[in-house]
Amino acid sequence: MSLTEKRCTACEGGVSPMDSNEARQYLAEVPGWTLTHDDTRIARRFKTQDFASALAFTQTIGALAEEEDHHPQITLGWGFVEVELYTHKIGGLHQNDFILAAKINQAWNAAGG
Ligand SMILES: C[C@H](O)[C@H](O)[C@H]1CNC2=NC(N)=NC(=O)C2=N1
């Protein structure tokens, strides 16, 4: 099953974050994203035409995050949206981060990005 078909599962902590090897395997399924912060987070910068389209894409991401109950850190500026994902409860990466990243990519591609 592809990541875009999965749903984020509640992650209340008590599990280990995924290790670098597993994270690198998941990364292959989310083009454009890179590992950051010693492989404990993933991030992608999306370039947009202007501020308004960056804001609109941020709102799309916000709606996806609420649907999945999994929330990114977002930096918004003129012509870009930077998205960073990790699972706070475990201080690192969980499959949930890659599910949301895949859904954000899907929305970006659908919008013609
Ligand atoms: C119960 C619910 O799953 C948690 O409060 C969620 C909400 N969104 C979250 N988002 C992220 N990125 N990490 C979390 O640990 C997290 N916890």
Average pLDDT across the chain, whole number: 97
Provide the ipTM.
0.92
What is the number of other CB atoms lying within 10 angstroms of the CB of residue 47?
10
Contact 43, 83 (CB under 8 A): yes
Compute, in angstroms, the gap from residue 11 CA to the centroid of ligand 1: 7
Distance CA 92, CA 105 (A): 21
Domains of the chain listed by start with CATH number: 31-110 (3.30.1360.20)
Q: Each residue of 42-78: pLDDT tens digit?
A: 999 999 999 999 999 999 999 999 999 999 999 999 9
Compute, in angstroms, the gap from residue 110 CA to the centroid of ligand 1: 26
Tokens encoding 3: 């990541």
Residue that is written with structure tokens 């395997």 in the block: 25
Residues with C-beta less than 6 Å from any ligand 1 atom: 10-11, 69-71, 87-89
Q: Would the pTM of this model clear 0.80, i.e. be above it?
A: yes
User: Which of 42, 88, 97 should be mutated for ligand 1, with most atoms under 8 A from CB?
Assistant: 88
Distance CA 28, CA 24 (A): 7
